Amino acid sequence: MKKLVFTLMIAVACSAGAFAATGSVNTKMSTHFSKTFAHAKDVMWVSGSSFVKVNFVLDGEKMSAFYDESGDLLATSRTFAFDKLPKQALATLMDEYAFPAYQLTDCIEIKNANGEIRYYVSFESDNSNAVVEINPNGEVSQFA
């Protein structure tokens, strides 16, 4: 699971290695997407090495959905406001990754197909980068 989440995080953070999907989008995933995200706009399908990603805008919010090769939904992701993270996590992050030593680079929410939510926050400093995982209870763990 951690490998899948890491793959999804990389795909969310940088889609430079991806290419427009041509023929890799099957009927199952396109039907699921159309039903689940009926009002999506600016839809762009992208194929990765082991998944298909669809970028879209829903209710003014940029999102992504990830499907496996058989067309099953793996997860959805969206950018998330740092200040909306669980309060316990905010306290921990502001203590361990204090500004200006660390700069916030990304804050995303990933919801897997079972509805389980995790937050991933990345920081960079002069010497290093850090990615932390936060569960809905606000517990913070080093991810990468």
pLDDT, one tens digit per residue, over 82-130 is: 999 999 999 999 999 988 899 999 999 999 999 999 999 999 999 889 9
Domain 82-142 of CATH type 3.10.450: yes
Task: List the Cα angle 110/34/112 in 5-degree steps.
Answer: 20
Q: Are residues 105 and 113 in contact, defined by beta-carbon separation less than 8 angstroms?
A: no
Instruction: Give residue 55's pLDDT.
Output: 95
Q: Write down the H helix ranges in the chain.
A: 2-13, 27-36, 87-96
What's the pTM?
0.75
Instruction: Give residue 17's pLDDT.
Output: 37
Joined tokens for residue 100: 């200006």
Instruction: Give residue 135's pLDDT.
Output: 94
pLDDT, one tens digit per residue, over 31-76 is: 999 999 999 999 999 988 888 999 999 999 999 999 998 999 999 9
Task: Measure the CA–CA gap between 63 and 56, rounded to whole angstroms.
Answer: 5
Task: Measure the CA–CA gap between 2 and 35, rounded to whole angstroms.
Answer: 28
Instruction: Give residue 21's pLDDT.
Output: 45
The widest CA-to-CA distance across the chain, in whole angstroms, is 48
CATH class in words for 2-74: alpha beta
Confidence of residue 143 (pLDDT cuts 50, 70, 90): confident
**23 vs 33, residue with greater confidence:** 33
pLDDT at 6 over 80: no
Q: Is there a shared CATH topology between the 2-74 domain and the 82-142 domain? A: yes
Instruction: Give residue 144's pLDDT.
Output: 65
Return the domain boundaries, the chain.
Answer: 2-74, 82-142
